[in-house]
Amino acid sequence: LTGRSTSAIVSRVNDATGARARLVGAAARLFLTRSYHAVGVDELCTAAGVRKGSFYHFFPTKADLAKAVVDHHADALWARLRPAGTVASAAERLRLVADAIGDTQAGFEERFGKVVGCPFGNLAAELAAADEPLRLHLQAVFAHWQHRLTELCRQAADEGTLRAGTDPALLARILLAQYQGLILLAKTDHASAAQIAPALHEILDRYLPERVRP
């Protein structure tokens, strides 16, 4: 669903020495704290403690590594968005997504000393115009994310907690855009990650009038 190729999954399974996983981890960190273009293959290999031959064994190009980095972050995001043990209402789950977005950025802030941006949004802004396969890969992640939000908004409508007259698909788009925009602004002006979730809840207050927080 996220556009991950079968060969990438096979490579991951065959990563007995952990070289592939170390490359993905190093790239995830360096792309977030610098940018995709600012980090070269040599530096990625050094940071991962991997020889260049191994790099090209796993990733024919740096763009292929970027796709694996996207999949790595997407796996973590889908795991966070999975409903917890007890079945919550859709309204609660939309609130929990907002908290998860804020928590993820707070985690980056703790690790890197500042908000460093959304892993998907950063790569999309830098590469969507320049690298078509990577754009398609990121488009699939955003489409899946937006689809899950649309489903939650539809479910909230069914449960009678969504503001009457709201288009669930449009609200899903607005929420995803709000995540991306707030994170980008915090990255740019070094606002605290703690500002992100409250702004998202403010928007949700407008669409889920009966605010039920866990």
Under 8 Å CB-to-CB from 75, ≥6 apart: which residues?
none
| Interacting residue ranges for a second copy, rule: CB under 8 A | 32-38, 114, 116-117, 121-122, 124-130, 135, 138-139, 142-143, 170, 173-174, 176-182, 184-185, 187-190, 195, 199, 202-203, 206-207
Q: Between residues 19 and 149, which has the closer beta carbon with respect to a second copy?
A: 149
Under 8 Å CB-to-CB from 196, ≥6 apart: which residues?
101, 102, 105, 179, 182, 183, 186
CA distances from 145 to 71, 105, 124 (A): 13, 17, 15
The nearest distance, CB 196 to a second copy, in angstroms, is 9
Let me know if 137 is exposed, middle or buried by CB neighbors in 10 A (0-12, 13-18, 19+): buried
Whole-number Å distance between alpha carbons of 181 and 33: 18
The nearest distance, CB 124 to a second copy, in angstroms, is 4
Under 8 Å CB-to-CB from 20, ≥6 apart: which residues?
11, 12, 58, 68
The nearest distance, CB 108 to a second copy, in angstroms, is 10
The nearest distance, CB 132 to a second copy, in angstroms, is 10
Q: Between residues 58 and 207, which has the closer beta carbon with respect to a second copy?
A: 207
CB atoms within 10 A of CB 158: 11
DSSP element (H, E) containing 121: helix 119-127
Q: Between residues 20 and 29, which has the closer beta carbon with respect to a second copy?
A: 29
Q: Between residues 56 and 112, which has the closer beta carbon with respect to a second copy?
A: 112
The nearest distance, CB 152 to a second copy, in angstroms, is 18
Q: Between residues 43 and 126, which has the closer beta carbon with respect to a second copy?
A: 126
The nearest distance, CB 173 to a second copy, in angstroms, is 6
